[in-house]
Amino acid sequence: MRIPGFLKSPTRPVWKVLGLSLLAGGAIGLGQVPVSLWPVAILALGLFIRFTSALRPAHISWCSFMAGMGHTFVSMYWITEPFFVEPEIYGWMAPFALLLMGAGFGAFWAAGAGLGARLGRGPVTRALGIALGLVLTDAIRSYAFTGFPWVLFGHIWIGTPVAQLASVTGQLGLSCLTLLLAVTLAFTGKRALVAGVVLWAGGAGVWLWGQTRLAAPVAYPAKPVEIRIVQPNAEQKLKWLPQYRDMFFKRLLDQSSAPVKTPLDLIIWPETSVPFLLNWAGDGLNVIAQSGQGVPIALGIQRSEGDRYYNSLAVLDKNAQVTALYDKVHLVPFGEYIPFGDALGKIGIGAFAAQQGNGYSAGKAETVLDLGTAGKVQPLICYEAVFPQDIRRAPSRPDWIMQVTNDAWFGQLSGPRQHLSLSQMRAIEFGLPLARAANTGISGIIDPYGRLVARIGMNTQGHLDLPVPQALPETLYARTGDWPVIAAMLISLLVLSLFALNTVDRPRVEV
């Protein structure tokens, strides 16, 4: 395979190649929710691997960096939305945030693809190395620097039967499948054709197996937990303004006290529902409890301990007593806390999403709350639903998962829908139903197959009364976590490096 003549630099390809890589990354990003063009994503991945496998390793790293940026610009553009909640203060940061996010993702892609390519001795083994390296970046990004497993390669399958594989392998297994299918498109020849047929037949088998699972009707226990999810539709830029706070609070109260057909076991309000602290509520807790008319209410609320502030979930009984409390453990970097926050707070630098103090403090540990007739519930606050490893750290298996969130920070298009899709992924991985209360949407109930049973749409005020579906038996992924897939990746990279030491590729493709 010959290197294109216009690649003159031994370390950096010319701008045309970098531009094509940026476009390729954008096409790969079209596979993510809400566009969900997974065939386009796999084709773009295959073509990108085919082209870059013919290049020098240094060129591969540069091209992968640009592809990672393009993927981010298409799939994560909504990261600028929080900066426009108060544009007069933070708006100038928005383009820099997107560029930094793109550069960060690009660096992961460059490191993974570059490392994998260096294990190969020719375009064939380099292509396999690039694919394995890119999958490995998904794993590293899921854990490094507090983790950010958002828009992984495997997430292109959310909403398809293939997503059911996550109950066995987790989302990283889906990423492996994605890259394996893509790499079959990188080569021609009899061996490549045979390998492609085998892998695509396997993918088709996974699709059919997933369809079989999804053919099962939504199941409910003999005595299901009856819940009400409340969505106030409080626009973030107005939420804390004095002239709107009472209106939004009244919406929550009115929706909670609306008539019911079936007696309720629990009412759920979104994250940071109310404009006061738990320990400085005045008569607020009594008013909330009264709106429940004897039904416990779980609500997102802030609280303080000395000079520490927490993003919390509290459960109030009919007497306005706090019967259960959870402090958010996995905080959003720079949004809810900043590194060295205590020191930086002294000079006025704080996390802009925190309404009190310079940022939140993290809770002590994941937990499962025993809510009596509402069952044993694992609480998740917003961003925590992104991390399957955090759910696995809970001390016991819950009956269902309760997520309270405020997706108003994420705009109205991709951000909230991607966040919802990750909640669906958690339901599949753990075989657990999940109830989701969002401030502006999308709220709903998800069954253990990841199906959205009922929903309240974006920018809608209302409530939803439904029973919680029956949980499935504990899944294989819930028992093993990500480590079997990560081990398989590392072993594959080791085998590839040993194979490459003793093999010289005979390329079949001209670029």
For residue 50, the tally of other CB atoms under 10 A from its CB is 20
Contact 456, 436 (CB under 8 A): no
User: 267 — phi, psi (to 5°)?
Assistant: -115, 135
Q: Is 403 helix (H, G, I), strand (E, B) or coil?
A: strand
Residue 234 CA to residue 231 CA, distance in Å, equals 8
Q: What is the DSSP letter of 33?
A: T
List 81, 226, 271, 336, catalytic entry: 271
Q: Is 230 helix (H, G, I), strand (E, B) or coil?
A: strand
List 239, 328, 366, 429, catalytic entry: 328
Whose CA is closest to 225, among 372, 385, 403?
372
Phi-psi category of 170—alpha, beta or left, where left has phi over 0 and alpha has psi -120 to 50? left
Q: Which residues pair with 267 in a beta bridge?
A: 228, 297
Torsion of CA 200, 203, 205, 211, to 10 degrees: -140
Residue 5 CA to residue 2 CA, distance in Å, equals 8
Active site residue 510: no
The enclosing H or E element of 195 equals helix 190-214
For residue 9, the tally of other CB atoms under 10 A from its CB is 11
Active site residue 271: yes
Active site residue 382: yes
Whose CA is closest to 120, among 60, 64, 189?
60
User: Which residue numbers are catalytic?
Assistant: 271, 328, 382
